[in-house]
A = this chain, B = another copy of it.
Amino acid sequence: MGRWEPDSRGRLVQAALDLYGERGFENTTVAEIAARAGLTERTFFRYFTDKREVLFWGAGTLQDLLVRAVAQAPDSAAPIDAVTAALEAACALLQERRESAQKRQSVIAASAELRERELIKLASLSAAMAEVLRQRGVSGPAASLAAEAGIAVFRIAVERWTNEVDPQDLSGIVRESLDELKAVTAGT
């Protein structure tokens, strides 16, 4: 080793997702991930604390992106519009990574522990957005409701997007799901 490895993190993520899909998350070791990526275990641990973190390290980036987008929305934007702007930014990040997102979703769906971890990460994203909304002067309950609605829409939209045989644009699905939420909450 010692020489510079281009995109080691990306190669490790790719190798891990492939192995989790082939053998299951439980049955995959860090040594196997590193070997598949053509890297050492030491390199793995330079990027991730454990094999679970490979699935969740992106949550920090996503949270920064969502928070920044909500904070930067025009003062006149309604809470749901600030949240929508944040989801658009997240869509732009994910749009080119559908295959990875798909693999990640199916690994998580297969494990109760990973589903729980995903729920907790999504709740953190929601709490972070609600906090920025409150800093923008939105009342506590409205801020929480707008953020929770946004995250519910996002989660359901990503699920549809990764399951579709002939996938549309993720942001189109997010907009559709938002409209569906509006229709649903308005009732008949």
Name A residues whose Cβ lies closer than 8 Å to a Cβ of B. Answer: 78-81, 116, 119-120, 123, 141-142, 144-146, 148-149, 152-153, 156, 160, 177-178, 180-188
* Max chain B C-beta neighbours (<10 A), residue from A145, A148, A177, A188: A145
Q: How many copies does the complex hold?
A: 2
Asked whether, in the complex, the Cβ of B153 is within 8 Å of the Cβ of A184, the reply is no
Asked whether, in the complex, the Cβ of A156 is within 8 Å of the Cβ of B181, the reply is no
Instruction: Find chain B residues with CB under 8 A from A156 CB.
Output: 141, 144-145, 148
Complex CA gap A141/B144 in Å reads: 21
Given contacts A80-B187, A81-B187, A119-B119, 14 further A-B contacts (CB under 8 A): A116-B116, A116-B120, A141-B160, A141-B177, A141-B180, A142-B183, A144-B152, A145-B153, A149-B152, A149-B181, A149-B184, A178-B185, A182-B186, A186-B186
Interchain residue pairs with CB less than 8 A apart (17): A78-B184, A78-B187, A78-B188, A80-B184, A80-B185, A80-B187, A81-B187, A116-B116, A116-B120, A141-B177, A142-B180, A146-B184, A149-B149, A149-B152, A152-B152, A178-B185, A186-B186
> Do A152 and B148 contact each other (CB < 8 Å), given the known contacts A78-B187, A81-B187, A81-B188?
yes
Instruction: Find chain B residues with CB under 8 A from A141 CB.
Output: 156, 160, 177, 180
Instruction: Find chain B residues with CB under 8 A from A178 CB.
Output: 185
Complex CA gap A62/B119 in Å reads: 20
Complex CA gap A73/B185 in Å reads: 17
Least CB distance from A117 to B in Å reads 9
Instruction: Find chain B residues with CB under 8 A from A142 CB.
Output: 180, 183-184
Instruction: Find chain B residues with CB under 8 A from A81 CB.
Output: 187-188
Complex CA gap A142/B141 in Å reads: 23
Instruction: Find chain B residues with CB under 8 A from A120 CB.
Output: 116, 119
Asked whether, in the complex, the Cβ of A152 is within 8 Å of the Cβ of B145, the reply is yes
